[in-house]
Structures are given as structure tokens and as C-alpha cells.
Chain A
Amino acid sequence: MDKVEYLGKCLCINANGKKLLIVGDLHLGYEEVLNEGGVFVTREMFKEMISYFDRVFERVGKVEYVILLGDVKHDFGRILRQEQNDLLMLFGYLEGKLNKGGEIVIVKGNHDKIVEPIANSAGVRVSDYFTIGEYCFIHGDRELVGILDDGIRFWIMGHGHPAIRLSDGIKVEKYKCFLIGQYKGKEIIIVPSFLEYNEGSDPRENDLGMAWDFNYNRFNVKIVNSESLEVLDFGKLGKLKL
């Protein structure tokens, strides 16, 4: 298990002697979708995202793989101008953080229906799932036959936007978190969304919409400290008071 390192909202994994950086749902272009809907909102998200990545890469150095856990773009079914620009700029940025021969991989999410043309043009691999060693990366919205392989011990996924409310009886605050548990003999890690502005959903209050019926009460909660890259262990969800 020591091969998995929690770095703020991201994961760093060493598998088969290769270093992997795992990133949750990005939802690029959310702002443009809002603009289209008549909401005056400026586009700061991209800049903030890059500065967060800068801090992450400062810690991990160059990597062999950057794995984006799907829902890279926000809008279903079409690609907006901002998304196209942002995607290409993001790919360009991440390219620069790869070791020679490294690769960016997108596992397809429900929001990524037509992300392939842009990704392909930038040499980014898009697939339904991606495996390396005993790790399998998926978005988490669908069951896929291939991931049930016996050689795989870890399923690492996004999609659920997990977050947890903490309360001391008076004050209530919500934080992004990782959910770590077991399902049919596999180790599960649900990665929080990368999107700022929105913490996500508390599994005690909302259905995270994962493809499997996880027993979240027995999952471990690791909360992301938004200021540092530190992650704090809060034990089993079932033992946490709501």
C-alpha cells in the first residue's frame, strides 16, 4: 500500500517501477457552460488549476504517466471553444511534466463523449479503462468486464466527487476527501474531483452515483487540506458523527 501517496487532491502511485500521477474529475469548461446559460462568470479556473499542478509537480518531479480519471470536460455531447483551448493548453502543460516516453491517459467519463478528436490530435490516449501492474483506473460510472481481471488488486476511480461534512455540533464545514475501501476482494480508492468552487457530495446525504453498491460506512475517509498538500485520516466513515 505504501506505493500510493496522497498529494492534496491527487494521488501519486509507483507501479511496475513507473511513477503515475492520478487526477480526479476536472470539468474543464464549466465556466463557459455557465456563460452560455446567461451567467456572468469570469474564467479563473484554468489559472488556478495550473498553479495547483505546479505545487504537485514540485513535490513529485517528472512522471511516466498522468492519468486523468474522466469528466475532463464539463459539457455533454459537444466541445465548446474554451474547452478546446483549455484542453490543448492543459495537455501541453502536462507534456512538459512527463519523463521521456511518458504518456497522458484519459479514462473516459460520462461527460467526455467526444473528447477523443482533440486528445488524439495532441497525442493523448483515451480509453474506457487503463491498467498497469495490479492497478486499474476507471471513471466509475460504468461496470466494465476487463477490470474484473484477477491480476488487478486496485480500482482507482473518480466520478463520485466525494466530500465529507465535519461538525462539532455548532459549526459545519465540508471538505473534499478520498474514500478508501474494499469491494469483492478489490481495493477501492475514490478520488475527489479536482474542480474548485464545489467541494462535492457527502455519501451520507447523496448517492454518489457509482456503478457499484459500495458500503461507504466501512470506507476510510481521508480529508484534503485545501491549503497544503496534506491529507488527514479520519478513520471509518461509519464512525464519523454527522
Chain B
Amino acid sequence: MEKLDNVNSMNVKKSNLGKLEYIEAYRTEEVREILNPLVEEWFFGKFKDFSLTQRYGVKAINDRKNILVSAPTGGTKTLTAFLSILNYLVGLGIKKELEDKIYAVYCSPLKALSNDIFVNLIDPLKEIQELAEKKGLKMQDIRVGLRTGDTTVAERAKMARKTPHILVTTPESLAIVITTTKFSEKMNALEFIVLDEIHALTNKRGVYLSLSLERLNDLSLIEPVRIGLSATISPLDEIARFLVGGERDCLIAEVKLTKKIEIDLEFPGKNILEAESFESQKELYKILDKLIQENRTTLIFTNTRAATERIIHHLENQFPGKYADVIGAHHSSMSKEKRFEIEERLRKGELKVVVSSTSLELGIDIGSIDLVVLLRSPKSVSRALQRIGRAGHKLHENPRGRFIVLDRDDMVECGILMKEMIEKKIDSAEIPKNALDVLAQQIFGMAITKVWDVDEMLRVIRRSYCYKDLTRDDFFSVVSYLAGDYALEHRNVYAKIWYDEKENKIGKRGKLARVIYMTNIGTIPNESHISVVIGSGNNRGETVGKIDEGFLERMKRGDIFVLGGAKYQYLYARGMKAFVAANVSKNPTIPSWFSEMLPLNFDVACDIGRFRKLVKERMKDKKECMEFISEHLYCRKDVASEIFDYFKEQSEFSEIPDEKTIIVEKFKEEKEFLLFHSLYGRRVNDALARAYAYAAARLKHRDVEMGISDNGFFIAGESLDAEKITKWVKSKDLREILKEAIDKTDILKRRFRHCASRSLMILRNYKGREKSVGKQQVHSEFLYSAVRKISSEFPILREARREVFEDLMDIYNAEKVLKWIEEEKVKIKIIRVPIVSPFGLNLMMQGKADLIKMEDKVKFLKRMHELHLKVIGDRGKD
């Protein structure tokens, strides 16, 4: 595995991967055969036939095979899983053989899952029971227990008395359940595990769940069947392994989308360059109004919260009275109740249009949507499909979508996305591996339930696909941390577990261990909101609104941003408050949606690069080129014409960068700029930009500024030697360079806070007191500098670094790009230009994102002092 450090490769366990098999759908009769007569009668009383998804999945589950069912949204996945399980339980219930145990665990990442569960589990169960009664059949009760963060103590107690046969839960609650003695006993003969919405779990929450599942397996005397339900996602092999763990076999049912996607792309106004002008903005709302009026229900995705509110505001303003009662907003900063209300009204058909940031992408049935409008790029094909899949949710309706783009980069990008959706090319998801913070939390949880043999514990952990290559060194570094080894003389204060080297055993330490674990479980960091307060002038002290922490991190003193329609200049932050100056006349230096921005998928980015090359080769003949564009992207003529003009301008001004050529533009503004047209998505560009900025900073021993976007990045400094800088950064050194480059940055600090919280270094809840995020933050600053003093290789600090490299940035693909450059598969071409070229305009307008610090604190102090002495000296002369 080239991803692993050489140092660690010595003690990597060679794992044998399980067998994956893609299956075909069964015939209706084959599936019908396995159904209990009662269930069969119920099913066909309600449905005409099995859905395609059910023909794939029901029998395989009945045969007790692990299976991943991937089907486009609008399918019947959840019932596919439950049909086999209900069929089995009904059979037992009729024979009076139902035991007092949990047969099946259903786990979904959605908190608001109850409606889906009613439709797919509770109602069918009730109907089958009624049918049995009608027929005079006596059947035992099949009980369903719902256990989420919202479950009350009384409900939990009831569940403990009357064991549910099917437990419906979330990843967090599952971890609690398996650590509770009473409950875990009821699961020692578990038969089914259903993981729903598995495509939403390719993150630390999923990593965490994968370990909970291995713990669950370890509890159970029999091996439960694992059933994964996923929307369209790629690569399926990876997701299947994630579902079952590295060594188990798994069937894969790839239910192909038989529906045709109806999609188009348009822009407001006559000319895309003018799309952001006042007139075109009016035009945009006219287009939206027209689309909304032509359809029964329309769902608009905007990517950001701010845009969601803006769209609603303008629709209401431009069409007074028309939208008053039939428009709704849905975004993640809204309260749960408010969101639920909107979903409910959608389902009832009371709303004509709902505007959402990203929050309505997932799961829960929201009734019939006729059209999905994508305002600005959704940044990946699977995300675009997921969104468009919200329309035509009913089985035989085609999903209908419309891209509306507002600038030229957006137009090209959405064009490529549209092409890939039509050609059904799906970009790939990644699952984090060997996350040490999640591991720490789970080892602690494991130690609470029993005393473990260390090798046995490691074996259980390595069964998870996310930890199959976990090194012994990494494992023991986490054990050491938890056992308090890093705090030598004060071991007893910090230790959460004990580790007996002689006996090779691990167990919990302290009376509070269980309480600490239960009250601090989970992997979702508490993102905090920062109050924005006027810090100078008349209204000093007035709170004007809130921004999120990530946004604050991107700002530096003097930056101007927009909040609630007004402009503010950032002065400084104190604790959970950001102080600003009001009445600012200058233009914003930082867009307000910065932190909410989705990164462009690497595969899609490379495809845009390829497209650029194809267009570049055809530039000579305008007519032919336009025909090519509209055929290639399946787009309208006016769109093709706009794209051609955009490319033409770029080629006349400097040169069109493409898949084989990174154009580096050198120009001077208040500083010297090197703008790299590297179209690889912002995650790769983040890594490349920091590495090049670090190289530049190192050569001159001065700080260098940088900015990044999906289409490229720039670095800016006093004088930059492009040749030297680009030669200095080598793929093999990238990791080391970045380690230095991010060492003192806020991003590392912030990630560290989240990792420290996940690994229980900072407890959110301790001795009955809930800690505010602000307090956690202050504490984590202190902790951060303390940990750095212990060792720069402290496991949780390493995890924070891994998160920055692999989750925030994409270091593997960045290394790949550098290799292409070294092998000359991609050429760097430096061009001197008077000002930035058309392709670089959006990037420049975004402003600066970060500073690579080279000059150390003491040197900076001395330089400032000298400067200061000069000023004092000059003043003395006057």
C-alpha cells in the first residue's frame, strides 16, 4: 500500500479481502416463493408486483447473505430490507417461536427517520397483524423499539422490560446500546443488521459505526447478516467492504436507473457575463417564477444558507402576494421543528416551492416534487443525482432538473456535470482510514464493557474495513494515550483505561468511566456560531448577527464581509465574539459563503480539464467548435456560444490551461502574484497552494499569502521566483512540506479541537456539566500548546494532521498531480501577463484565504521594532 508510511509498513497486518459478487435480479416467482402466505397476501394486496430493488434484495437477505443494495433514490430500498426480516419474524410469530431477544438492528444516520420507519416498518407490521386477526390466525406480537438521542428515559425503561424484536437506532445511540449491559445481553444472538443511507456515512461517523458493528459482532454468538442500503454511489466495492468489513464476503446489487433524466442548463439574461447585473438578477427571478408556475411543486437547491434566504426574499418582493403562503426555506441552521414542519407541508402538497441549501439532499420522503432547480454547481455528479432524484420520487416518473448558472466557470462546470449525469458516470467517494480519534473513543468504550486481551481487541478492530491496515504502533500509541502514559507522573488523573503489559490485558479505569463515555459519545463536532458585535463607533456593543466558526477562521483583520445585507469590517475576535466596524464603504474582500463552499470533485475537475483540451483543439472554426460543445455537453446553442466566447477570450489574453498544461500567470498588483490554473478541485489545490507558498516563503524568509478555488490557486509575496518555487516542491516531499506549512495554522488548531473532543481529551460533558463550545475552544488552545510540547507525534495531533491532509485537503491526488508534473505528463508553463486573465478572475475576486508563516515570532518582533525605531527617528528629525 503506497498510502502507508514506510516506517510503519513493517508491522502492517496483511489482510485477506473477502469476495465481492455482483448479482442479477431474481424473477418475481423466485422471490414470491419465499414469502409466508400471510405476508404474501398482505404484499400483493397492497402492491402490484415487487420493485426491481426488491427482486434484487429480498431473496438474498432471506438466504442470509451480506448484501449491499445500491439503487437510485425513489426506490423501495427500506422495504426491501424489512420485507425479508418481517417475513421471517411473522413466520416465527405464527409458530409462537419468537424469543425475547433483538433479532434485527436497523441503523440510519438520519435523526428524523421516524416517518420513513412508519411507512416501511410500523404500518406494514400493523397491516399484517390486522390481516392475521381477520383470518383468525393467532400470532405473537412483533415489537419495534425506537432508540435515538430523543428517546425519553421512560421509553428506554419500557424497552428494557419488553425487548423489541427490531431495534431502530442511529450510530450514536447504537454505541450507547452496545455499552449498556442490560441491552447488550439481548443482542447476543442478533441475526440482521440493516444500515440505511450508507452513502451518507463515508465520513468519521461511518468509521465510528464500523467499529460499533464489529463490537456488535463480537457480542453476538452468531454472525448477523449485514444489509446495506445506498443511493447511487461509487465505487461500490469500497462501500461493500465498508459495510461488511475487510474479510467478509458480500453480494452487491446494483439496481440501475431505468428512468431517463430530463435535464437542461440555462442562464438569466442575454449574456452570461451580465448574469450578476441588476437586470439579469431580475431575469433570474422571472425564470424561477416561470419554472415554479409551470410545475406543481419545485425544489430549489442553492448550496448556501445565505443564498436560500436571498432567493426567498426576492421572490416574495418581486411577486408580491404570490408566494406568501406557498414558499418555504429548509437549511441546517433552522430548528429541527421548523424543518420538520416544512417537510410535512411539502408532503401534504401545501407548498409550491421550497428553497434549500443542501439539507434536503438526504433521505426522508418529501412527497412528490416535479422539478428540481440547481442554482450554482452541486460540485459532484452523485450530489447532483441525489438532488435531482428528489423529483419524480414516485416509481414511474422521470426525475426532472434544471441547472441555472450565474457565471462562466459555473456554466462550464455544470455543463460537465450535466454530461456525466446523462452518461451515468459517477464520481467516487472516499472513506477515512485509521482515524485515531475515533479509535480512542471506541477502545475506551470496549474497555468499559469487559477486560480485553490486547491481541483480541486489535483483532476485532482490524475487522473493520476502516482499520484493516491499522499498525500495531498506531494502536499502541492510542492505548498509551488512554492509559495516561504521556502524562507520566500524573497518570492517575488522565488515565481512562489501564493496560497491563505483562498480562497483555486492557480494562477501564475509574468509577466515572461509563458516565463519561455515555455522555460524550459521537463524532460530530460541535460547530459553534460566533456573535458579530460592533466594536467601535456609535453602536458599540450591539450584536448584529452570527457567523460560523469556519468563516471566522478565514478572516483576518481588515477583511470586509456581508452579513444580513450590510457590510462590516472585521477588527478582532475575543472568545465567541467577533468585533467589527459598521458603516463600511469598501467592497467585500471575502465572500460570505466561503466556509459553506462545497469542494469540486477531483474526477469532475479532471474531466473539465479534458474538455478544455478538446475545445482548445477546435478553436479555429467557431461553428464547428460550437457544434462540438453543444454535442459534448448536451447543451443549448446559446450556452455553447457563451462557452466558446469565454475560451476565445482566454486564448487571446494568455493561453487556455487544460488537462496537460498548468498555466502559471505572473503579474504584479500591490504584490507579485503567481496564479496557477490548476483545475483539480479545491481540496487538491489547497495542498498544492500551501506547498508552493511554503516554498516561496522559505526562499525569501518572508510570509506569503495564498488564495484557492476549485479552478486554481495563487500565491502572493514581495518577489517570487516561479522556476525555483515549482522545482522545489516534489511529490515525495509533499507530506513533509505540508506538515511544516500547516504547523501553526488555525485550520490545524480547529481540527485538533474536534479530534481532542472525539478522543475524549476534552469532555463536552463532565460531572453533569455541559461545557459551552466557547469554553471547549479556550481549553483546546491550551491543550494544543501543551500537547505540542509533549510530542509532535502525539496520536491525536497526528490525527488532526491526517484530517487536514486527507479529509480537508486531498493529499493523495495532490501527490498524483505532482508526479504528473515530474514525469512531464503535465507541463507547467509560466506566462507573464499585465493583469489576471479571464479564467483567473473568479479566483482573484475570492480574495486571500491564508498566510503561510515563515518568519518566526521573535524575528518578526525584532523587524517590527526596527521599523518602529525608524519611525520614531524620522519623527524626531521633524
Q: How far is the CA of A19 from the CA of B499 in the complex (A)?
A: 52
Cβ-defined contact, B786 with A172, below 8 A: no
Specify which chain A residues have a CB less than 8 angstroms from the CB of B571 in the assembled complex.
Answer: 205
Specify which chain B residues have a CB less than 8 angstroms from the CB of A166 in the assembled complex.
Answer: 860-861, 864
Specify which chain A residues have a CB less than 8 angstroms from the CB of B855 in the assembled complex.
Answer: 171
Specify which chain A residues have a CB less than 8 angstroms from the CB of B486 in the assembled complex.
Answer: 42
A226 within 8 A of B: yes
Cβ-defined contact, A223 with B860, below 8 A: no
Which segment of A33-41, A124-132, A151-159 sits at the interface?
Answer: A33-41
A168 within 8 A of B: yes
B556 within 8 A of A: yes
Cβ-defined contact, B494 with A232, below 8 A: no
B701 within 8 A of A: no
Which segment of B179-187, B288-296, B611-619, B777-785 sits at the interface?
Answer: B777-785
Task: Decide: A232 near B861, CB < 8 A? Known: A38-B762, A39-B762, A206-B574.
Answer: yes
The digit string for B839-867, where 1 denotes a CB below 8 A from any CB of A, is: 00000000000010101011011111101
Q: How far is the CA of A34 from the CA of B763 in the complex (A)?
A: 10
Kindly identify which residue among A34, A37, A172 contacts B557, using a CB–CB cutoff of 8 Å: A172
Kindly identify which residue among A40, A170, A234 contacts B762, using a CB–CB cutoff of 8 Å: A40
Cβ-defined contact, B493 with A35, below 8 A: yes
Specify which chain A residues have a CB less than 8 angstroms from the CB of B767 in the assembled complex.
Answer: 38
B490 within 8 A of A: yes
A238 within 8 A of B: no
Specify which chain B residues have a CB less than 8 angstroms from the CB of A235 in the assembled complex.
Answer: 868, 872
Cβ-defined contact, A35 with B494, below 8 A: yes
> Which A residue sits closest to B705, measured CB to CB?
A170
Q: How far is the CA of A223 from the CA of B787 in the complex (A)?
A: 27
B86 within 8 A of A: no
CB of A81, distance to nearest CB on chain B (Å):
10
Q: How far is the CA of A242 from the CA of B581 in the complex (A)?
A: 14
Cβ-defined contact, B574 with A205, below 8 A: yes
B789 within 8 A of A: yes
The digit string for B456-495, where 1 denotes a CB below 8 A from any CB of A, is: 0000000000000000000000000000001101100110
Specify which chain A residues have a CB less than 8 angstroms from the CB of B494 in the assembled complex.
Answer: 35, 40, 42
B703 within 8 A of A: yes
B766 within 8 A of A: yes
Q: How far is the CA of A173 from the CA of B572 in the complex (A)?
A: 12
Q: How far is the CA of A165 from the CA of B860 in the complex (A)?
A: 12
A175 within 8 A of B: yes
Specify which chain A residues have a CB less than 8 angstroms from the CB of B156 in the assembled complex.
Answer: none
Which residues in window 185-208 of A have CB below 8 A to B? 197-198, 205-206
By DSSP majority rule, is chain B's interface helix, strand, loop, or mixed?
Answer: helix
Specify which chain B residues have a CB less than 8 angstroms from the CB of A173 in the assembled complex.
Answer: 857, 860-861
> Which B residue sits closest to A34, measured CB to CB?
B779
Q: How far is the CA of A197 from the CA of B572 in the complex (A)?
A: 20
Cβ-defined contact, B858 with A171, below 8 A: no
By DSSP majority rule, is chain A's interface helix, strand, loop, or mixed?
Answer: loop
Specify which chain A residues have a CB less than 8 angstroms from the CB of B789 in the assembled complex.
Answer: 44
Task: Decide: A197 near B851, CB < 8 A? Known: A38-B766, A205-B579.
Answer: no
Q: How far is the CA of A146 from the CA of B572 in the complex (A)?
A: 39
The digit string for A172-190, where 1 denotes a CB below 8 A from any CB of B, is: 1101000000000000000
Task: Decide: A34 near B782, CB < 8 A? Known: A39-B763, A40-B762, A234-B868.
Answer: yes
CB of B633, distance to nearest CB on chain A (Å):
42
> Which B residue sits closest to A202, measured CB to CB?
B572
Q: How many residues of B contact A (CB 8 A)?
A: 49
Cβ-defined contact, A226 with B785, below 8 A: no
Cβ-defined contact, A37 with B703, below 8 A: no
> Which B residue sits closest to A227, measured CB to CB?
B858
A167 within 8 A of B: yes
A113 within 8 A of B: no
Cβ-defined contact, B779 with A42, below 8 A: no
A110 within 8 A of B: no
Q: How far is the CA of A175 from the CA of B858 in the complex (A)?
A: 9
A14 within 8 A of B: no
> Which B residue sits closest to A82, measured CB to CB?
B490
The digit string for A204-242, where 1 denotes a CB below 8 A from any CB of B, is: 011000000000000000010111000010110000101
Cβ-defined contact, A170 with B779, below 8 A: no
Q: How far is the CA of A198 from the CA of B789 in the complex (A)?
A: 14
Q: How far is the CA of A41 from the CA of B789 in the complex (A)?
A: 11
Q: How far is the CA of A38 from the CA of B860 in the complex (A)?
A: 36
Q: How many residues of A contact B (CB 8 A)?
A: 34
Tell me which of B490, B775, B779, B868 has the highest count of chain A C-beta atoms within 10 A of its own C-beta.
B868
B790 within 8 A of A: yes
Kindly identify which residue among B771, B783, B862, B868 contacts A40, using a CB–CB cutoff of 8 Å: B783
> Which B residue sits closest to A235, measured CB to CB?
B872
A78 within 8 A of B: no
Specify which chain A residues have a CB less than 8 angstroms from the CB of B493 in the assembled complex.
Answer: 35
Specify which chain B residues have a CB less than 8 angstroms from the CB of A223 in the assembled complex.
Answer: 861, 865
CB of B742, distance to nearest CB on chain A (Å):
16
CB of B698, distance to nearest CB on chain A (Å):
16
B761 within 8 A of A: yes
Specify which chain B residues have a CB less than 8 angstroms from the CB of A142 in the assembled complex.
Answer: none
A55 within 8 A of B: no
Specify which chain B residues have a CB less than 8 angstroms from the CB of A226 in the assembled complex.
Answer: 857-858
> Which B residue sits closest to A206, measured CB to CB?
B574
Specify which chain A residues have a CB less than 8 angstroms from the CB of B864 in the assembled complex.
Answer: 166, 168
Q: How far is the CA of A166 from the CA of B862 in the complex (A)?
A: 11
Specify which chain B residues have a CB less than 8 angstroms from the CB of A39 in the assembled complex.
Answer: 761-763, 779, 782-783
Cβ-defined contact, A41 with B782, below 8 A: yes
A43 within 8 A of B: yes
Kindly identify which residue among A40, A170, A198 contacts B851, using a CB–CB cutoff of 8 Å: A170
Cβ-defined contact, B779 with A232, below 8 A: no
CB of B180, distance to nearest CB on chain A (Å):
22
CB of B439, distance to nearest CB on chain A (Å):
16
Cβ-defined contact, A42 with B556, below 8 A: no
Q: How far is the CA of A223 from the CA of B860 in the complex (A)?
A: 12
Kindly identify which residue among B579, B703, B763, B868 contacts A171, using a CB–CB cutoff of 8 Å: B703
Cβ-defined contact, B782 with A197, below 8 A: yes
Cβ-defined contact, B860 with A42, below 8 A: no
Task: Decide: A38 near B703, CB < 8 A? Known: A168-B864, A206-B574.
Answer: no
Q: How far is the CA of A43 from the CA of B516 in the complex (A)?
A: 22
Kindly identify which residue among B703, B766, B782, B865 contacts A170, using a CB–CB cutoff of 8 Å: B703
Q: How far is the CA of A168 from the CA of B556 in the complex (A)?
A: 13
The digit string for B737-766, where 1 denotes a CB below 8 A from any CB of A, is: 000000000000000000010001111011
CB of A113, distance to nearest CB on chain B (Å):
22
Specify which chain B residues have a CB less than 8 angstroms from the CB of A40 in the assembled complex.
Answer: 487, 494, 756, 760-762, 783
Specify which chain A residues have a CB less than 8 angstroms from the CB of B771 in the assembled complex.
Answer: 37-38
CB of B142, distance to nearest CB on chain A (Å):
42
Kindly identify which residue among A37, A167, A171, A172 contacts B779, using a CB–CB cutoff of 8 Å: A37
CB of B179, distance to nearest CB on chain A (Å):
19
Cβ-defined contact, B786 with A197, below 8 A: yes
Cβ-defined contact, A42 with B865, below 8 A: no
Q: How far is the CA of A212 from the CA of B864 in the complex (A)?
A: 30
Cβ-defined contact, A43 with B766, below 8 A: no
CB of A194, distance to nearest CB on chain B (Å):
16
Q: How far is the CA of A223 from the CA of B867 in the complex (A)?
A: 14
CB of A234, distance to nearest CB on chain B (Å):
6
Q: How far is the CA of A37 from the CA of B520 in the complex (A)?
A: 13
Q: How far is the CA of A90 from the CA of B356 in the complex (A)?
A: 60
Cβ-defined contact, B858 with A225, below 8 A: yes
Q: How far is the CA of A171 from the CA of B760 in the complex (A)?
A: 33
**11 residue pairs A–B, Cβ–Cβ below 8 Å:** A38-B516, A38-B766, A38-B771, A42-B487, A42-B786, A44-B790, A166-B860, A168-B863, A172-B556, A205-B574, A205-B579
A residues at B contact (CB < 8 Å): 30-31, 34-35, 37-44, 165-168, 170-173, 175, 197-198, 205-206, 223, 225-227, 232, 234-235, 240, 242
Given contacts A39-B762, A172-B557, A206-B574, 9 further A-B contacts (CB under 8 A): A37-B775, A39-B763, A39-B779, A40-B761, A41-B783, A168-B860, A205-B535, A225-B862, A226-B857
Closest 9 CB pairs between A and B?
A38-B766, A38-B763, A40-B761, A42-B487, A39-B779, A232-B865, A41-B786, A166-B864, A227-B858
